[in-house]
Amino acid sequence: MEAQILAGGILLGGIYAIAALGLGLVWGVMSVVNVAHGDLLIFMAYMTWVMVSVQGVPPFIAMLILIPAGFIVGVLLYRILVRHLINRTDVELMSLVLFFGLSAILYGVSAYFWGEDFRSMQIPLPTFELFGVALPGTRLAAFLIGCGLVLALTWFFRKAYWGKAIRAVSQSREAARALGIDPDRVSEVAFGIALAYAGVAGALIAMTSPLSPSLGVVYAGRSFAVVVLGGLGNPVGTLVGGLVLGITESLSSLWITFALSPAVAFVLLIGVLIFRPQGLFKPLRQR
């Protein structure tokens, strides 16, 4: 039984990690605190549900559609809303207020169109068995996709021009501009990538769990916990943070009631902030 719970925690942690990647990228590069991240994930998940359950689009094709769609939405959000905050000294506070409003709007739109009742969709993937442990096909696929995207983002930061530019801007926008890098353009691309990752995460959430607008705040809390635990903007740290959170939540269900297991995320968050505020891994931005 413990092995099954541990395996479930690992697979759940992979979903938490991909859900938190976009949040960590935006926060690490631009100091923008996107508290609407959870509601964006759930909105993307509902878009997946509409494409799959209403339009008949295959689920993984729907996920691929959400990647460019999420990127475009991210670029537009940056140009329309975020760009005006970047150069302010109180960018974190003002972005908190801005995205709190956006969160309320997204929640209201989701509740209006799809209601508060849970909705789910059936994905025809088999359950695999490894050493006597059952691995649901959808959760295993989500975990593998999450690991692949973490590796892709790590390579992007280290090898690609735009990845190196994002790292440079995260350290100092002025120094990056002196080197011929346009910080606004780089931040725009970073925000687009963050929302593209949110599109993938939303699709995976739709494939692996029932949907309700109220889940936005749940995923927002877990995403913040994962980002702080792993190190702000560090992809590998985000994956490790997600795994730690998923495993801890699952194992804690052996000793506490299921209703209290979500509190584990915030207990971990408080503990990290007290004993290792920089996270388990080196943050993208060195303060």
Per-position DSSP letters for 229-271, written without gaps between them:
HH-TT-HHHHHHHHHHHHHHHHHHTTTS-GGGTTHHHHHHHHH
pLDDT tens readout for residues 148-197? 998 999 899 888 999 889 888 888 888 888 888 888 899 899 999 999 99
252-264: average pLDDT: 69
Of 27-41, 247-261, 269-283, the range with the highest mean pLDDT is 27-41
C-alpha–C-alpha distance, residues 155 and 114, integer Å: 38
What is the model's pLDDT at position 104?
93
Q: Higher-confidence residue: 165 or 253?
A: 165
Residue with tokens 């889940």: 215
Give the per-residue pLDDT at 41. Answer: 94
Confidence of residue 262 (pLDDT cuts 50, 70, 90): low
Residue 199 scores a pLDDT above 90: yes
d(CA 147, CA 38): 20
Rounded distance between C-alpha atoms, residue 82 and residue 76, angstroms: 9
pLDDT tens-digit readout, 91-125:
888 888 889 999 999 999 999 998 888 888 877 77
Q: Is the pLDDT of residue 1 over 70?
A: no
Query: What is the per-residue pLDDT for 285?
Result: 59
What pLDDT, on the 0 to 100 scale, is given for residue 30?
78
- Contact between 111 and 47 under an 8 Å Cβ cutoff? The reply is no
Span 27-86, pLDDT tens digits: 877 788 889 999 999 999 999 999 998 888 998 899 999 999 999 999 999 998 888 887
Sequence-ordered alpha helix ranges (H) in 31-160: 37-49, 59-80, 91-114, 137-159
Output the pLDDT for position 257: 66
DSSP secondary structure code for residue 285 in this structure: S
Q: What is the pLDDT of residue 49?
A: 93
Residues with Cβ within 8 Å of residue 128, at least 6 apart in sequence: 134, 135, 137, 140
Question: Is residue 42 classed exposed, middle or buried when 0-12, 13-18 and 19+ CB atoms within 10 A define those classes?
Answer: buried
